[in-house]
Amino acid sequence: MKKLALLAVAVLGILAVAKPVLIGITQIVEHPALNQVRDGVIEALRRAGYVEGENVQFILANAQGDFSVAIAIAQEFRARGVDLVVSIATPTSQAAVQVFKDTTVPVIFSAVTDPVRAGLTGYPNVTGASDMIDVRADVELLRKIIPGLKRLGQVYNPGEANSAILTELTKKAAEEMGITLVLAAANSTAEVPLAAQSLVGRVDAVYCTTDNTVAAALDVVVAVAKANKIPFLFADPTSLERGVLMCTGFDYFDHGLLTGEIVLRVLQGMSPSAIPFVRQAGTQVWLNLDVAEEIGFRFSSEARALATGLLFGGQRFVKE
């Protein structure tokens, strides 16, 4: 009995000093959608009983839009011996996979447009969640809402794999609908103002996909669109309050929760190789009536009927 008691004390002692799970969370830039993903992941773990400082420790990092910084962050995670990496956005995920591909450390990506074309599949320690948007549906929505739409402008970063993929899809959709796509490239947030300004007088509307460079400098694109009364659709519902006329896409907090569920399955012992990457579902359409009034734009009854919700008087209203 005495030996059993001593053994029990020893086991309890080991459990008491067990180290928290160390999780590195890295994102390419700071903007509402990616922040919501990060918060959703942390919330999913909290709901499952993971308490910061007790049984889990998070290392949060932001690459500020620089791929070389994303690589350095991933290298720092590896040096610190993280148990798992959550990489948010395509460039950050590419950096994390590059650094951890020859290890057994799980890398769970999130907010990645096309994991296959981004080179994130085929590794036994990598899986995650895709936020591939329906570009064709967005262009069709613009055509319905803006009568006589002939020229559509798009600011994008050709260096972002996710943005390049979505721009190709936009080109194809626009061409099939008889719409001319006018592209304005911005290789960094510093180039976004000039790119946005270059579209003035050349387009009937502006459409930007889930481009992280544009999202980080979204206020500039919004300002140009408003000043010139150009309808602007951005594929991120979290950015509606920032002055965009229309938003489509997913609830990124939900996307974070979805990613968090994958993280939990891995923490419970499942191999990432046994978990196929998943795609986010549930596209939303939001209309900003405040901005519409400001630029003199009128949404048709058909447009309102298509909407998930409206922003009016600074508040969101979900349609019943």
**Residues ≥6 apart with Cβ < 8 Å to 50:** 21, 56
Helices (H), the chain: 2-16, 32-47, 67-79, 90-100, 135-145, 161-176, 192-197, 212-216, 218-227, 252-267, 289-295, 301-306
The domain limits of the chain are: 2-129+251-279, 135-249+283-318
The average confidence (pLDDT) of the chain is 94
pLDDT per residue over 121-172, tens digit each?
999 999 999 999 999 999 999 999 998 999 999 999 999 999 999 999 999 9
pLDDT per residue over 58-113, tens digit each?
999 999 999 999 999 999 999 999 999 999 999 999 999 999 999 999 999 999 99
CATH number of the 2-129+251-279 domain: 3.40.50.2300
Residue 318 corresponds to which tokens in the numbers above? 């979900």
CATH number of the 135-249+283-318 domain: 3.40.50.2300
pLDDT at 205 over 60: yes
Matching fold, domains 2-129+251-279 and 135-249+283-318: yes
